[in-house]
Structure 1
Amino acid sequence: MSLSDFPHRRRNLLTGEWILVSPHRAKRPWQGEQAEPAPADAPRHDPACYLCPGNARTSGTPNPDYAATFVFPNDFPALLHESIGEGDSAHDLFETAPARGEAKVICYSPDHSQTLARMDDAGRRAVVDCWADLSASLGRDWAHVQLFENKGAMMGASSPHPHGQVWASDFVPQIVSQEDTRQREHLARTGTPLLAAVAEAELAAGERVVEASEHWLAVVPHWAAWPFETLVIARGDLARMEDLGDAARADLAAVLGRLLRRYDGLFGVDFPYSMGWHGAPHGLGADHAHWRLHAHFHPPLLRSATVRKHMVGFELLAETQRDLTPEQAAERLRAVTP
């Protein structure tokens, strides 16, 4: 018997949740949705794009003629500096809580045709530096800083221009709070940070490793929910983006380039994904020995450039489920020349 042939469950070490793996279902025929792949060719400047240099945004504010990364306040932020009062609820049974914060947009490049995968290492390094600066500056005022990117229309990106976002909040969001609890418990129980132990075990096994360097490890995690999900883990004692030194930042730029080019080469398309960095919430202060900086990449594509994974039915009502095993996904990503 093999895990690649029979249904089984795996526990997500960072959240404690279980995932059902059903590899035998990958053999079933598919007559579901097949979306058209997004066109890969794009102009370097699109006069209709509200993120390109010199163009007006949807708010009417003109962008400067920026030549590198450009950050501006989100014109339609999900969080505001002001919020409702504590306990403003119509009934004691239904809880509410105030939520304050701010949101910014990060234009990675003035070149409309670029992506993180197609940028050179110097361009990606500028993005890494920008992430670190935002994490540090916003972390002085807010409890948590969430850096993320939605790439591609399939993942709800409102513009094809290369960009990400940062949302800073006065609360620690649910998933990050779960990760904090699990990592804290593991350190207390074993004396070793959870993701340090995961990185060591993954390097020893090798079967889920996609990229490995002096400072970074990219794996399809044992508990991956999305078909080609990856987890990028800092290999040093680093809890937040601003903790990265010069060598780790340069190395990250190179590792991200190789990983993302593997994604694009898998089905020969600009691979859509949602990506986000998780570091120690700033509201914890200096109490973050249990944390390791890491990024989650959640791409939806399953069978081809046009067939995606849908989180529906059992996944929404009972438990996350996947067909392709994480080991099979990692093997396919490794087979792509980056």
Structure 2
Amino acid sequence: MAELRYNPLLKDWTMVASSRQKRPNMPKTDCPFCPGSGKVPEDYEVHIYHNDFPVLSENPPEPDEVGGSLYKTRKSKGRCEVILYSPDHHATIPDLTRKHMHKLVNVWEKTYQALEQDPEHAYVMIFENRGEEVGVTMPHPHGQVYAYPFIPLKVKTELASCEEYFEEHQENMFDAMIAEEKRFGERVLLENDSFIAFIPFFTDYPFGAHIVAKRNKTAITEFTTEEKRDLGDIIQNVVGGMDKIYDRLFPYMMVMHQRPSDGKNYNDFYRFHVEFYPPLRGKDRIKYNASSETGGWAAANPMRVEETAQILKEKIEEFMKND
């Protein structure tokens, strides 16, 4: 079974894909994403792999007849792609050369561009799940790209808030955020010509860094060659710093927030940015989302942002010195 089910309480869609229960855990002896497996090219740098257990697909089945007038269903139309970062089974983002990282950014861009051209794709999301703590079953370094037939609720909420702020202040909210973070200073991690990284004032994760474009650009396809290089560099530096906090592979969920694929102009009030959701609050301590966070969306951060930002900033500087 694979379908979309409408949640009338939130005006949002739930993706249902029972086939994903069959996803295997990583074999102990071999990896399907490594050369020699027969599933990937023998010689590749960055490779697009079609998800074996997609929650969205190009030719989805008809929804089950279980809905009603209130309970709507839709076909789970879309795409789910896997982006293999490297043939090296252990090479995560900080391990890639700068040149290799720039190739990865180009593949992200080309995949986004191809998927957004389908009129049935309302929103394209580039993301990475890293570490067993966030449910990763295939540890070979990879990210994913989903093309949804709807705009996810969190993104929809961001867009509405940013548009409302622009109408009231005639200013892009992200310019205001950048100005405030730079004025205060203590939460800024690093910046380059095109992007600034900081742990925002309001984050609900101890090391929940954001990377924000400095110019009014809302999608990776709008970046110049130099901006794409700057994006790759700043992502590598932030993740490299995270790994040094506890001297271990730092688990996280990383999501690129971009404009919807409807052809409208969002540049006045929205902005491309990357959000990290790292679950660690100690070397082996997890920040779980319990009843308040899950049932009420009442975010709670167990650590003071200004303190965690200083820790991560120092570790990023250490990583950059040794890079």
TM-score range, shorter-chain basis? 0.7 to 0.9
Deviations 1:194-231 (A, max 9, x none): 11221121112111111111111111111111111111
Alpha carbons of structure 1 residues 181 and 89: separation in structure 2 relative to 1, 3 Å = farther
CA contact (8 A) 2:217 2:267 kept: no
Q: Partner of 1:323 in structure 2? A: 302
Between the aligned partners of 1:85 and 1:171, the Cα distance in structure 2 is: 17
Alpha carbons of structure 1 residues 50 and 84: separation in structure 2 relative to 1, 3 Å = closer
Amino acid at match of 2:57: L
SS for the counterpart of 2:138 is: coil
Deviations 1:280-314 (A, max 9, x none): 1112433443221001111111022x111111132
Q: Partner of 2:219 in structure 1? A: 240
Deviations 1:19-62 (A, max 9, x none): xxxxxxxxxxxxxxxxxxxxxxxxxxx96011112314xxxxx2
Deviations 1:162-221 (A, max 9, x none): 100001022111111111111111122211111122112111211111111111111111
Q: What 5-or-longer segments of structure 1 have no aligned partner?
A: 1-45, 57-61
Percent identity, please: 26
Work out which of the residue numbers 98, 112, 122 in structure 2 matches 1:143.
122
Q: What 5-or-longer segments of structure 2 have no aligned partner?
A: 1-27
Work out which of the residue numbers 160, 168, 176 in structure 2 matches 1:181.
160
Cα shift at 1:83: 4.7
SS for the counterpart of 2:312 is: helix
Q: Partner of 1:314 in structure 2? A: 292
Q: Larger relative contact order (C-alpha < 8 A, sep ≥ 6)?
A: 1
Between the aligned partners of 1:315 and 1:246, the Cα distance in structure 2 is: 40
Cα shift at 1:335: 2.2
Deviations 1:303-326 (A, max 9, x none): 22x111111132223312122121
Between the aligned partners of 2:67 and 2:105, the Cα distance in structure 1 is: 44
CA contact (8 A) 1:239 1:289 kept: no
Does residue 265 of structure 1 match 2:244?
yes
Which structure: greater helix fraction?
Answer: 2
Alpha carbons of structure 1 residues 292 and 65: separation in structure 2 relative to 1, 3 Å = same
Between the aligned partners of 1:332 and 1:241, the Cα distance in structure 2 is: 29
Work out which of the residue numbers 16, 20, 30 in structure 2 matches 1:48.
30
Say what the alpha-carbon RMSD is for the aligned residues: 1.9
Does residue 93 of structure 1 match 2:70?
yes
Q: Partner of 1:77 in structure 2? A: 54
Count of residue correspondences: 287
Alpha carbons of structure 1 residues 230 and 112: separation in structure 2 relative to 1, 3 Å = same
Amino acid at match of 1:227: P
